[in-house]
Amino acid sequence: MNILAIGDIVGDSGTDMFLDHIDELKEKYKIDFCVVNGENACSNNGITRKKAEMLLSAGADVITLGNHSFRQKEAVHLLLNNECVVRPINYPEGTPGRGFTVVQKNGKKIAVINALGRIYLDYCDCPFKETLKAVESLKADIILVDFHAEATSEKISMGYYLDGKVTAVFGTHTHVQTADSRVLPKGTGYITDLGMTGPYYSCLGVKKDITITRFLSCIPQRFEFADGPSQLNGAVFCVDDETNRTKEVIPVAIWPNAR
């Protein structure tokens, strides 16, 4: 079984990039299952029902979120009513929505867990303990973990913490793809960050002039997503059908015709 994980979809251009390329990626890599991080799918971050439905009907099986999960008001309704959309599992008790979901696909029960890091991010419960608790309670053939976090050390530690217990751990949130995809010693596929699907000439999706101005002054700036061509980032996890362990991780990156 081959699983495609796509890094943070940023705005309309990132959504269009996914819609334009998902069919060819599914064909090229013989993809059976697709997870997409959609926490920045709307123009001012977060996700709406309309955006979620666009991504799901185009070919995503599950959408994960992150620190922008509740940026859009209607996300609460979406998370309560759509089992294919998950928010971080380590949000405080009582937070609407689910931290994992289980989907039946091609004869396998596939669980997707979303967790949020604690370094430079919102205060939340321990991602390690909450994720492990879910892993141990889940009855699934394949478990995938989207660890939405800033610090590489926190993400790499999560990879080793779950090595052999889950099929794959992939990071999201930094919007920059890391060159460290690998299979960990006990068979868990890993990459520190999948990268971003969104505006190429940008700072993490945001107009570069805005972020430069922010760094040159102490005045907060209103962020806007950049225009122009888009990139697509993600990774393919090739999974052994007998053991449900990852055999190979293939980073995926489609760039515009950049100069």
The least distance separating Fe ion from the CB of residue 241, rounded to whole angstroms, comes to 32
Is residue 11 within 8 Å of 204, Cβ to Cβ? no
| 3-state class (DSSP) for residue 237 | strand
Contact assessment for residue 67 and residue 38, using Cβ atoms and an 8 Å cutoff: no
To Fe ion, the closest distance from the beta carbon of 65 in angstroms equals 8
**What minimum distance in Å lies between the beta carbon of 85 and Fe ion?**
15
Q: Is-catalytic flag, 77?
A: no
CB-wise, 173 or 245, nearer to Fe ion? 173
Provide the minimum distance between the beta carbon of 243 and Fe ion in the complex, in angstroms, as a whole number: 32
CB nearer to Fe ion: give 102 or 169: 169
Pairing verdict, β 196-199 and 8-9: parallel
The identity of residue 139, as a single letter, is K
Residue number closest to Fe ion, CB atom: 8
Stretch that binds Fe ion, among 28-36, 127-135, 173-181, 206-214 (CB under 5 A): 173-181
Which residue, 64 or 244, has its beta carbon nearer to Fe ion? Answer: 64
For residues 183, 189, 190, 193, the Cα torsion angle rounded to the nearest 10 degrees is 130
| C-beta closer to Fe ion: residue 39 or 130 | 39
CB of 180 to Fe ion, least distance (A): 19
Q: Which is nearer to Fe ion, 87 or 245 (CB)?
A: 87
Segment interacting with Fe ion, rule: CB under 5 A, options 101-109, 124-132, 172-180, 251-259 = 172-180
Strand boundaries in 77-167, DSSP class E: 85-86, 100-105, 108-116, 142-148
Size of the site for Fe ion (CB under 5 A): 6
Q: Quick check: helix, strand or coil at residue 78?
A: helix
Binding status of residue 173 toward Fe ion by CB under 5 A: yes
d(CA 143, CA 101): 10
Q: Which stretch binds Fe ion (CB under 5 A): 7-15, 75-83, 157-165, 211-219?
A: 7-15
Residue from the set 1, 3, 4, 8 that interacts with Fe ion by CB under 5 A: 8
Burial 179-188 (b: 16+ CB within 10 A, else e): ebbebbeebb
Catalytic residue among 68, 148, 173, 175: 68
Nearest to 172 by CA among 112, 108, 251, 117: 117
Cβ neighbours of residue 4 closer than 8 Å, sequence gap 6 or more: 25, 26, 29, 31, 33, 34, 35, 234, 235, 236, 237, 252
- CA dist., res. 171 & res. 149, Å (int): 7
Interface map 42-81 toward Fe ion (x if CB under 5 A): ------------------------xx--------------
**According to CB under 5 A, which residues from 12 to 41 bind Fe ion?**
39-40
Residues contributing to the site for Fe ion (CB under 5 A):
8, 39-40, 66-67, 173
Active site residues: 68
